[in-house]
Structure 1
Amino acid sequence: MSPEELSPELVPVQGALTAVAFRRSARAKRISLRIDPAAGGILITLPMRASRRAGLALLQAHEGWAAEKLAALPQALRFSPGAAVPVHGVPHVIGHVPGARGGAWIEDGRILVTGEPEFLARRVTDCLKGLARQHLTAMAAEKAQAAALKPKTVRIKDTRTRWGSCAPDGTLAFCWRLICAPGFVQDYVVAHETAHLRHMNHGPHFWALTETLTPHRGEASEWLTLNGMELLRIG
C-alpha cells in the first residue's frame, strides 16, 4: 500500500515557523522524523494508528536536532529569471521571453521560458521533467539491453529520498532532478536500478552486474554524498 500524504501544517521549531508534512504508512512500525530537503521542511511518518499529536510530540522532543539540520540545508535554487540551473551538471541561465511561444526549452546554454512570470517556475520544471524522461528512459533501455533485461516501464517522479527505484513488477523510477546532475552520476543511478531488474538486493551478484553496466560507481556515489542535498534543493 502506498503511503498516504496528509495535509501539512506550519509548526514553530525553535521559534521559526517550519512546514511539517505528514505521511501515514502501513509499513511504518514507529513514528519517524526526517528533513525534507526539497521542501525545506520536516516529514513525519506515522503508523496507521498513530496520531498527528504523537508525531508532533516526537518533533518537540527532537526540536534541537531538527533546527540544526534545517539550518544546515544548502540554499534553495528557485526557478526565476537569471537563475543558473544545472542541466547535465552544466549551468544554464533561465531567460524569460514573455512574447515568444513554446513553453520552455533549452537553447545555446540557456533555458528559455515564455508566458507570464507566474507560470515560469512550473514551465521550467515541466521542461526538465520532460528532458529527464527522454534521457533517462533511453539510458535505461540501453543498459537493460546490454544485460538482456527489459523494464516494464520507466517513470519520472518528484522523489525526496531516493534517486531511483525498481519495483517488483519491473517498473523503474527516477527523480527528475537527476537531469541536473553530471552525466556520470546519471549513468551510475540508471545502471544501479537496471541491475535490480535481475537482483532485488544489494548482494555480490547485484554489485557485479552494476559494475558491468557502469564504470562510475565510486565517483558517482561520492558526488551524490557531497552534492545530493544541493540537488534536492533545486526547483
Structure 2
Amino acid sequence: MLEGYGSAKTIWRISTKAKRCIIRISAKDHAVVITLPKGFPCTQALDFVHKHTDWIIPRLKKLTQTPRFAANSIISIQDKNYTIQHTPDRKGGAWLENDCLFVSGDPSFLPRRVEDFIKQHAVKTLIEEMRHVSQVSGLQPARLDIRDTSSRWGSCSSSGRIMLSWRLIMAPFFVRHYLIAHELSHLQHMNHSAAFWKLVDTLTPHRRQAERWLHHFGSILQAIR
C-alpha cells in the first residue's frame, strides 16, 4: 500500500493493451487502481502516482463520507431517509417501520441483511418504474434484470435485454427516471447519436439534473456496502 492514502488499498495491474499509466478510484474495492503497460519501470510508476496525489486524495476523502450498511447509519431508499436500527432480539430479518430500517439477528449478519432487503426492494420498485415509462413511451424491453455492477448503472443489449443496478433504489427518483429512459432509448438507437439524445429528452425532463447528480454522488453510491 502506498503511504498517505488512509485505509484505501493500492491495486497494481499490468496490461498488455495499456499504452500509458492509468489511475482510477474503485469505489467497490475502496482502492486506488493503477494500470501499467507491460514492462513499465516501477520507479516511474511510483513517480507517476505521487505526481497525481492532488487528484487522488480528494476522491478518496469523498469515499470516506460514504454511508455504510451499519447500525445507526442513515441510508436513502426510494427517496426517503431511514436510520438502520439493530434489534438482535426481534425476528423478521429486515423491515421498514416509520423512519427506520430494523434488522434482527447477530450483528455480523447486519450488512448482508440490509443489502438483501434493499435489493429485494429495488427489484420491485425498478420493475414498476420501468413498466410505467415503457407504457408511456411504447418501448418494451425483452427482459429486465436488476444486478450488482461495479461501474455501469445500466445497459441495453442488441436483443433488447436491459440491466439496471439495484443501487439506483438509493438514488433520487429523477436519477432513476433518467437512467430508465436512457436504456429504453437504446431499444431504438444502439448508440449515443443526436437522435438517441433527442429521444432521451423526449422521455424524461431530468437528464441534466441526473447527470450532475451522478457526477457528484455516483461514486459514493457505488461504494455503499
Note whether the superposition's TM-score is higher than 0.5.
yes
Partner AA of 1:199 in structure 2: H
Alignment of 1:123-142 (within 5 A): 123-142=113-132
More deviation in 178-187 or 138-147?
A: 138-147
Matched, 1:165 2:155: yes
Partner AA of 2:33 in structure 1: L
CA–CA separation in structure 2 for the residues paired with 1:158 and 1:56: 34
- Evaluate the alpha carbon distance shift between residue 15 and residue 163 of structure 1 in structure 2; reply closer, same or farther with a 3 A threshold: closer
- Evaluate the alpha carbon distance shift between residue 156 and residue 24 of structure 1 in structure 2; reply closer, same or farther with a 3 A threshold: farther
Give the length in aligned residue pairs: 220
- Which of 62, 84, 87 is matched with 2:48 structurally? 62
Q: CA deviation at 1:126?
A: 0.9
* TM-score, scaled to structure 1: 0.79
Matched, 1:73 2:59: no
Match in the other structure for 2:102: 112
Match in the other structure for 1:8: none
Partner AA of 1:41 in structure 2: A
Q: CA deviation at 1:161?
A: 2.2
- Which of 179, 183, 186 is matched with 2:169 structurally? 179
- Evaluate the alpha carbon distance shift between residue 161 and residue 107 of structure 1 in structure 2; reply closer, same or farther with a 3 A threshold: same
Residue identity (%): 34
* TM-score, scaled to structure 2: 0.82
CA-atom RMSD in angstroms? 2.9
Q: Which runs of 4+ in 1 moved over 6 A?
A: 22-26, 55-58
Q: Is contact 1:35-1:69 (8 Å) kept?
A: no
Q: Can you list the C-alpha shifts for 1:109-159, whole angstroms capped at 9, x where unaligned?
A: 211111110000011011111111111122222223333332232222322
Q: What 5-or-longer segments of structure 1 have no aligned partner?
A: 1-10
CA–CA separation in structure 2 for the residues paired with 1:168 and 1:85: 35
CA–CA separation in structure 2 for the residues paired with 1:155 and 1:141: 13
Q: CA deviation at 1:69?
A: 4.8
